[in-house]
Amino acid sequence: MPLPLPAVARPVSTDGGTDRYEIVQRETSAEILPGLRTPLWTYGGSFPGPTIEARRGRPVTVTHRNELPVPTVVHLHGGRTPADSDGYPTDLVLPAAWPQTPQTMPGMPGMPGMDGAGGHGGGTGTGMTDPRAVTSRLRRDYTFPNDQRPTLLWYHDHRMDFTAPALWRGLAGLHIVRDDAEDALGLPAGPHEIPLMITDRAFTADGALTYPSLDPALRDRPGVTEPHLAGVLGDVVLVNGAPWPVHETDAARHRLRLLNASNARHYELEARTEDGRRLDLVQIGADQGLLAAPVTHRSLPIAPAERYDLVVDFAAAPVGSLVRIVNRLGTGRTRDVMAFRIARPAPADDSRIPPRLATDLPDWRREDAVRTRDFAFRAGRMNGGHGWLIGGRPFDPARTDVTVPLGDTEIWRLIADVHHPVHLHLVGFRILTRGGRPPLPHDAGLKDTVSLRPGESAEIITRFDGYRGRYLFHCHNAEHEDMGMMANLEVV
């Protein structure tokens, strides 16, 4: 299959300094596996959804309407977004047919009761005075200021208890922020800049996605069957929605903008030529934008929700050959990810990798932190069953877990039992230490997701600036997130 490139969304209006988009969330089907139709939940009819191309400092408003059978929530991962547009898990976009009786959320996560969660009658929100309130609307305007470092972001579903299956069914799309300074660097661009959204999925023989939900309608009972409590894996690797695609290109430098949008699968990527050489993966950016200087990797681990901005030079591969992107952590078919077919010599390649990429990285120091907090990400009991907990507690929208004054700098010490990719909304952070030692080469730059390995601790430092309001931090293994591993972060 050729590599699909997600369509770029077209604004419905660009008046008043804001780009406005409209996205209808709807069911459709697509030919993902040759000759078969796969039913999907989509943003605007495609998986991945349409890519939002944004300029730094120029706001984007996306109006979402929901024609899916269940409520949804849109979150822009990595966005510096005001709280009312951040996609809190109970700020719902309702389908028209959903019951709209006033109701509040059950006090406990993981309990039946989403059915009929209608909130405030399609009203205009509640201002969050009651933390248990569900706000619901038939359409919702999400405003993204894009007042942040240029980077690859992604939008996806974030509905309480049901994020993982909705993501699996296709609710994910890219959102790229650019600015003039980055454009002026001379990095590979145009057809040599390629977004790669990597996901794994499992299919039935007739082409449908298969997912072990306890409630296949995703209405009442969250969670997955016992064998999948650690996270749901697929045996087909999709890149931009196509299985093991091959992208035909020329022997030039390419900027590969990687996103692991898988629910639970970790990858360790290599670029291998047919004669067995590994091409350098030159990292120029992390989750939250450009590094200060490039970092060269031979292989690169990528956890769910992480992004890496890479330059790979295909001039080292013979014309006519394949460069395979391989997952060292995979077995059998999941060892392959995709390939590039180097079809022709490059026209004069005037792209470059400047030795200095960015000078605006925050350099928070340990002594800047006004407090240190500890969070343990571990398995535990929840509602009489298995859960994933932060500090021994499952997510409860009625409880504020962390209160931070706007502008404070903090160190968070995170510790994990098994793999947990920990994500903070609103802010980017630096990784100070990993396992009590200096961070790893791929920890460079500004991050919004840190991949904790089994038994590992990490210290991160950040300044909570931008906006006041109710945000989240959580594990981005999507099944862990749905089974309690999320907490409230209130910036005051």
CB of 454 to Cu ion, least distance (A): 11
Gap between the Cα atoms of 72 and 92, Å rounded: 6
| Helices first, then strands: H and E counts in the chain | 3, 33
Q: What's the min distance (Å) between Cβ of 478 and Cu ion? A: 9
Cα(211)–Cα(180) distance, integer angstroms: 43
Residues between 406 and 465 with contacts to Cu ion, criterion CB under 5 A? 420
Quick one: which segment of 284-292, 351-359, 441-449, 476-484 binds Cu ion (CB under 5 A)?
A: 476-484
Q: Which residues contact 63 (CB under 8 A, 6 or more apart)?
A: 20, 21, 22, 23, 139, 140, 141, 142
Q: How many residues does the chain have?
A: 492
* Choice between 224 and 290, CB closer to Cu ion: 224
Q: How far is the CB of 380 from Cu ion (least distance, A)?
A: 12
Distance in angstroms (rounded) separating the CA atoms of residues 163 and 222? 10
Q: Give the range of 154-162, 281-289, 293-301, 475-483 binding Cu ion by CB under 5 A.
A: 475-483
Q: By C-beta, is 313 or 479 nearer to Cu ion?
A: 479
The percent helix, strand, coil of the chain (3-state, each to 5) is: 10, 45, 45
DSSP 10: P
Secondary structure (3-state) at 12:
coil
Cis amide leading into 106 (omega within 30): no
Give the bridge partners for 469, in sequence order. Answer: 491
| Of 81 and 477, CB closest to Cu ion | 477
Q: Which is nearer to Cu ion, 225 or 403 (CB)?
A: 225
Contact 33, 207 (CB under 8 A): yes
**Range in contact with Cu ion (rule: CB under 5 A) among 29-37, 298-306, 405-413, 468-476:** 468-476
Query: CB 451 → Cu ion: shortest distance, Å?
Result: 10
Contacting Cu ion (CB under 5 A), which of 152, 389, 480, 483? 480
**Least distance between Cu ion and beta carbon 86 (Å):** 21
Pick the piece of the chain touching Cu ion (CB under 5 A) from 215-223, 354-362, 397-405, 477-485.
Answer: 477-485
Q: Min. distance of Cβ 379 from Cu ion in angstroms?
A: 9
Site string for Cu ion, 369-408 (x = CB under 5 A): ----------------------------------------
Minimum CB distance to Cu ion smaller for 23 or for 422: 422
Which is nearer to Cu ion, 7 or 376 (by Cβ)?
A: 376
Find out whether 7 and 251 touch, Cβ atoms under 8 Å. no
Measured in degrees and rounded to the nearest 5, phi and psi for residue 81 equal -125, 135
Q: Residue 35: which residues within 8 A CB-CB, separation 6 or more?
A: none
Region 232-251 residues binding Cu ion, contact defined as CB under 5 A: none
In the three-class reduction of DSSP (H, G, I as helix; E, B as strand; rest coil), residue 95 is classed as strand
Residue 137 or 480: which CB sits closer to Cu ion? 480
CB of 418 to Cu ion, least distance (A): 7
Task: Kindly tell me which of 164 and 431 has the beta carbon lying closer to Cu ion.
Answer: 164
Cα–Cα dist 143/41, whole Å: 23
The count of chain residues that interact with Cu ion, using the rule CB under 5 A, is 4
CB of 474 to Cu ion, least distance (A): 8
Q: How far is the CB of 422 from Cu ion (least distance, A)?
A: 8
**Would you say 156 or 420 has its CB closer to Cu ion?**
420
Write down the least CB distance from residue 483 to Cu ion, Å.
9
Binding residue for Cu ion, selected from 475, 487, 489, 491, defined by CB under 5 A: 475
Residue written as tokens 């970790």?
266
Residue 137 or 423 having the CB closest to Cu ion? 423
Gyration radius (Cα) of the chain, Å: 21
Among the listed residues 284, 477, 482, 486, the single contact to Cu ion using CB under 5 A: 477
Instruction: Please give the Cα distance from 76 to 1 (Å, whole number).
Output: 29
Query: Beta strands 336-344 and 246-250: pairing type?
Result: parallel
Residue pair 4/32 in contact by the 8 Å Cβ criterion: no
- Give residues in contact with Cu ion (CB under 5 A): 420, 475, 477, 480
